[in-house]
Every structure is written in C-alpha cells, then in structure tokens.
Amino acid sequence: MHTGGCLCGGVRFRVDAALEPIQICHCSQCRKAQGTPFATNTPVASAAFRWLAGADLLSTYRSSPDKERVFCSRCGSPIYSRRDSVPGVLRLRAGLLDGDLSARPAAHHYTGSKANWWTIDDDLPRFDGPA
C-alpha cells in the first residue's frame, strides 16, 4: 500500500497495489501542466486507487479530446491524468507519493518534443513518442 497527497494536504489518497515503473514524459502538454521539463507518472489501476480525503477539492481539465487532467483546486497540485482510450488506468504523478518508493523510472517518452534547455543524462530508453 502507498499513500500520497497534494501540496496543501487537502487531497489524500491510497494505492492498494504495487507501483508500476515510473514513466518520464517530456511532451509539451506535460511540461505546461507541471511547469517543469517533464512529468513523472506511474500507471495505477482505478480499482486500486482510493480517496482518503479531499475528493471535493478536485478539479478537472480536458487538455485534449481524449485526455483529462485532475488537480487540487486549492493548491494546484496535479494528481493524475487519464485517457478515455485507456479506461481503468490513472497516470498518477509519482512526486505526490509519500516515503521511499521501490518503483524506478523505466523510460523517457516524447523526447522528440522535450525542452531544449534540459539534458537527459541517464541511460534509460528514449522514445520520440509514447513507445
């Protein structure tokens, strides 16, 4: 079991499953949504995700026809995104999880549109698109 939450602490959640490898996304949408050069996401089955507090604080934004982003309306922390084309899977923002994680980054995605000012300096696989 893993727990996590947003910056203000109003939104809290639990994941009742082992974490999948962390995906690093460099697409322009993730950069804009995070305000950082990339997003770190871990896929989580919706059935393994539980709200502990703050579900009433959530806001959603449909960033493209197939994708919805969910965030805390109080502090702005991005919580997860989900695609209509991949039902039952949330892309949870790994930085929200509490404590040490056994999951590690597995690959860089959308490196074809990465920020030109950020250097990838590891040996993880790189994909111009989603892989």
Three-state secondary-structure class, residue 29: helix
Q: What is the pLDDT of residues 32-75, one digit of tens each?
A: 999 999 999 999 999 999 999 999 999 999 999 999 999 999 99
pLDDT of residue 130: 82
CA distance 62 to 77: 16
Q: What is the pLDDT of residues 72-81, one digit of tens each?
A: 999 999 999 9
Q: What is the pLDDT of residues 18-33, one digit of tens each?
A: 999 999 999 999 999 9
pTM: 0.93
Angle at 38 between CA 36 and CA 4, to 5 degrees: 85
Segments in the chain forming alpha helices (H): 28-34
Q: Which domains does the chain have, with CATH numbers?
A: 2-113 (2.170.150.70)
Q: What is the pLDDT of residues 112-126, one digit of tens each?
A: 999 999 999 999 999
Q: Is 71 exposed, middle or buried (0-12, 13-18, 19+ CB in 10 A)?
A: buried
